[in-house]
């Protein structure tokens, strides 16, 4: 815990670069009166792996949807460092909680969809799809259909699809929630490796404290009703981490701190 | 002990399960053969004349002897039914797409689609006959009955696109046309195809019914007319022969539409997958 505090102090002392995107006092309420987010301020820095954890209904998915431009803020603003990147999500990859594949299309065609929608030349598309499928270890399944794949494989297709555009920012909404622990650990490692290879920024939503600590350079803990940030932890161990990190004292300390913060956040929510 | 039971059932699954595929073909064939055999035997044993009730062999003979007349009528009926079906398919899909494009269009026109569906064809065919003449009436009838199943199924299909995929397309800035062709139409395909299967049978029924009601006669007439005509002339075996051909036509249409549906869906849609395939 001390180290985590120290890391926060270090981060403050260092001159921080301009964030890739910042949410300023963002609030979001829905037509039915639900206030999903209130006065949420969050900077996302280039190259970081940021995890959002928090009780169900605290607005994690809502925050991702706002970042992706799939939904509009009710108050506050979302400022991009590069304003020219426009509203179109060219530079954003989104891995939804469900694989969300087109059942009528092969693995290859599913992964190629973003590039086709961006009207890239066919040769370029083929090349990039091949690379993306190789990255997630599915190049031998390029002509399989989604129903012929296991849950973990479908999720990997979904990840490959998010990666084909080589996005600066990768948003992932509980991508591994439905998987068994072994597959989940393996995909965690794959993801950590991919992120450091591609150098992209990841905003990751999960319900697992351990997963978030293992993967992240920073964890943000949210509370519900209204959705807001209650705690943030920087984890200074370099990325990507390996299995040994799970036995590191730092890992244990951060897990404990995150769990406590999460527990407090849960307690502040009225029980349903 | 439970393991014993399990392994013994695995070694010898029930007879029906082991031979399901073969039995699925064999049993109906045996049933049909037995029925025809009994029928033939009853006519032979009771000495019933063919003008009262023809034996299966009489029907076959009548089909062969009247083949040139019956076959040309068959082509007429089939051509009109298929033309009606084709128009119903195109019309149904186009209108369904228009309905999903605009609430206004849907509000203005969906009542008429329902009216077309609920009004008995038999009731309007004589009217159509007065205004449009005999051939157009048959064609319109085949179209009207086929139109609604295609429209309503396609509409359901277009509306049941996966929300997540809609988000994904929005994320990459897909245009409305791209969403239509890459997302909505493929999602609607299984629904559309089951609509076409229903419409195929109905179009044939519509064509036959309209022809019966409009009481056409003379050149270029279809199978329904042959039935009426043979009835007047007391040629009962030929009536049966015409019915047999209509029945075969219906089976043919069903088989072709089912085959097309299977070919298009077999790789990905649950409805076309065999268990454990
Ligand atoms: N389209 C919507 N209309 C109305 N309310 C919504 C809508 N989407 C989300 N909400 C509400 O907003 C709040 C936050 O939802 P959100 O999906 O962001 O939560 P979450 O943190 O992702 O939860 P979980 O961990 O269960 O996925 C919830 O109270 C939810 O009921
Ligand atoms: Mg969520």
Asked if residue B180 and residue B132 are part of one domain, the reply reads yes
Partners of residue A145 in chain B, C-beta under 8 Å: 267-268
Ligand 1 center–CA A56 separation, angstroms: 8
CB A147 to CB B273 under 8 A?
A: yes
Tally of domains within chain B: 2
What domain range includes position B152? 56-276
Neighbouring residues of A9: CB distance < 8 A, sequence distance ≥ 6: none
Give the one of B171, B269, B270 whose C-beta lies nearest to A94's C-beta. Answer: B171
Ligand with minimal distance to A206 CA: 1
Q: Percent of chain B, pLDDT > 70?
A: 91
In the prediction, which pLDDT does B183 show? 96
Upstream peptide bond of A240 is cis (omega within 30 degrees of 0): yes
Asked if residue B32 and residue B92 are part of one domain, the reply reads no
Residue B5 in domain? no
pLDDT per residue as tens digits for the range B55-96: 999 999 999 999 999 999 999 999 999 999 999 999 999 999
Q: Domain containing B227 — which CATH number?
A: 1.10.3720.10
Residue B19 in domain? yes
pLDDT per residue as tens digits for the range B3-15: 444 444 456 677 7
Mean pLDDT of chain B: 88
A226 CB within 6 A, ligand 1: no
Q: Would you place residue B195 in the very low, low, confident or very high pLDDT band (cuts 50, 70, 90)?
A: very high
Give the one of B165, B174, B270 whose C-beta lies nearest to A102's C-beta. Answer: B165
Residue A83: CB atoms within 10 Å:
7
Which residue's C-alpha comes closest to atom 14 of ligand 1?
A: A59
Residue B65 in domain? yes
In the prediction, which pLDDT does A61 show? 93
Residue B205 in domain? yes
Asked if residue B150 and residue B22 are part of one domain, the reply reads no
Asked if residue B22 and residue B144 are part of one domain, the reply reads no
In the prediction, which pLDDT does B200 show? 94
Asked if residue B173 and residue B147 are part of one domain, the reply reads yes
Scanning every residue of chain A, which has its alpha carbon at the shortest distance from the alpha carbon of B170? Answer: A70
DSSP letter for A227, please. Answer: B
Residue B10 in domain? no
Partners of residue B270 in chain A, C-beta under 8 Å: 147
Residue B172 in domain? yes
In the prediction, which pLDDT does B276 show? 52
Asked if residue B251 and residue B117 are part of one domain, the reply reads yes
Higher-confidence position of B258 and A10: B258
Partners of residue B273 in chain A, C-beta under 8 Å: 147
Signed CA dihedral, B235, B240, B246, B249: sign only: negative
Residue A55 CA to its chain's centroid (Å): 16
- Residue B117 CA to residue B111 CA, distance in Å, equals 10
Asked if residue B143 and residue B91 are part of one domain, the reply reads yes
pLDDT per residue as tens digits for the range B141-156: 999 999 999 999 999 9
In the prediction, which pLDDT does A26 show? 94
Asked if residue B172 and residue B103 are part of one domain, the reply reads yes
Asked if residue B32 and residue B64 are part of one domain, the reply reads no
Nearest-5° Cα angle at B273, B269 to B274: 170
DSSP-assigned states of every residue in A94-147: EE-SS----TTS-HHHHHHHHHHHTT--HHHHHHHHHHHHHHTT-GGGTT--GG
In this prediction, the residues of chain A whose per-residue pLDDT falls under 70 are 1-16, 83-90, 268-272
In the prediction, which pLDDT does B2 show? 45
Residue B6 in domain? no
Which residue's C-alpha comes closest to atom 11 of ligand 1?
A: A36
- Residue A131 CA to residue B18 CA, distance in Å, equals 46
Residue B107 in domain? yes
Reference A51, options A222, A250, A261, A270; nearest CA is A222
B26, B47, B68 - which closes a domain? B47
pLDDT per residue as tens digits for the range B98-136: 999 888 988 888 888 888 888 888 888 888 888 988 888
């Amino acid at each position: 815990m001390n180290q985590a505090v120290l890391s926060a102090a270090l981060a403050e002392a260092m001159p921080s670069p301009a964030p890739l995107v910042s949410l300023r006092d963002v609030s979001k309420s829905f037509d039915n009166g639900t206030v999903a987010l209130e006065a949420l301020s969050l900077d996302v820095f280039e190259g970081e792996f940021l995890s959002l954890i928090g009780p169900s209904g605290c607005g994690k998915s809502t925050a991702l949807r706002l970042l992706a431009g799939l939904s509009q803020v009710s108050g506050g603003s979302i400022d991009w460092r590069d304003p020219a990147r426009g509203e179109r999500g060219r530079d954003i990859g989104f891995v939804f909680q469900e694989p969300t594949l087109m059942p009528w299309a092969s693995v290859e065609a599913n992964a190629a969809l973003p590039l086709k929608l961006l009207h890239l030349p066919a040769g370029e598309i083929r090349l990039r799809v091949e690379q993306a499928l190789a990255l997630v270890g599915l190049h031998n399944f390029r002509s399989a259909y989604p129903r012929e794949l296991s849950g973990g494989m479908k999720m990997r297709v979904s990840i490959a699809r998010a990666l084909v555009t080589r996005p600066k920012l990768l948003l992932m909404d509980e991508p591994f929630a439905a998987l068994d622990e072994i597959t989940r650990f393996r995909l965690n490692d794959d993801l950590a490796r991919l992120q450091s290879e591609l150098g992209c920024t990841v905003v990751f939503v999960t319900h697992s404290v351990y997963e978030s600590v293992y993967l992240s350079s920073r964890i943000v803990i949210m509370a519900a009703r209204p959705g807001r940030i209650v705690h943030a932890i920087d984890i200074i161990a370099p990325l990507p981490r390996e299995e040994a990190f799970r036995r590191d004292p730092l890992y244990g300390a951060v897990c404990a701190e995150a769990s406590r913060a999460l527990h407090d956040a849960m307690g502040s929510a009225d029980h349903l | 002990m439970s393991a014993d039971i399990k392994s013994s059932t695995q070694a010898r699954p029930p007879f029906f399960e082991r031979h399901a595929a073969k039995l699925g073909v064999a049993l109906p064939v045996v049933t049909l053969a037995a029925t025809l055999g009994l029928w033939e035997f009853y006519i032979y044993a009771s000495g019933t004349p063919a003008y009262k009730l023809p034996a299966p062999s009489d029907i076959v003979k009548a089909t062969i002897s009247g083949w040139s007349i019956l076959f040309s009528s068959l082509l007429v009926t089939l051509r009109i039914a298929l033309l009606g079906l084709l128009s119903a398919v195109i019309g149904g899909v186009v209108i369904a797409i228009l309905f999903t494009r605009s609430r206004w269009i849907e509000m203005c026109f969906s009542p008429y689609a329902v009216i077309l569906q609920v009004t008995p064809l038999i009731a309007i065919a004589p009217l159509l006959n007065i205004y449009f003449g005999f051939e157009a009436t048959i064609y319109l009838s085949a179209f009207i009955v086929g139109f609604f199943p295609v429209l309503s199924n396609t509409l359901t299909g277009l509306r049941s696109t996966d929300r997540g995929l809609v988000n994904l397309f929005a994320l990459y800035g897909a245009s409305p046309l791209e969403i239509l062709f890459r997302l909505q139409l493929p999602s609607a395909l299984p629904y559309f195809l089951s609509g076409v299967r229903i419409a195929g049978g109905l179009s044939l029924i519509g064509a036959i019914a309209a022809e019966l009601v409009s009481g056409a006669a003379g050149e270029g007439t279809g199978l329904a007319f042959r039935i009426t005509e043979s009835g007047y002339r007391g040629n009962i075996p030929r009536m049966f022969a015409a019915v047999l051909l209509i029945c075969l036509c219906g089976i043919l249409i069903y088989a072709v539409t089912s085959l097309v549906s299977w070919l298009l869906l077999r790789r990905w849609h649950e409805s076309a997958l065999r268990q454990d395939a």
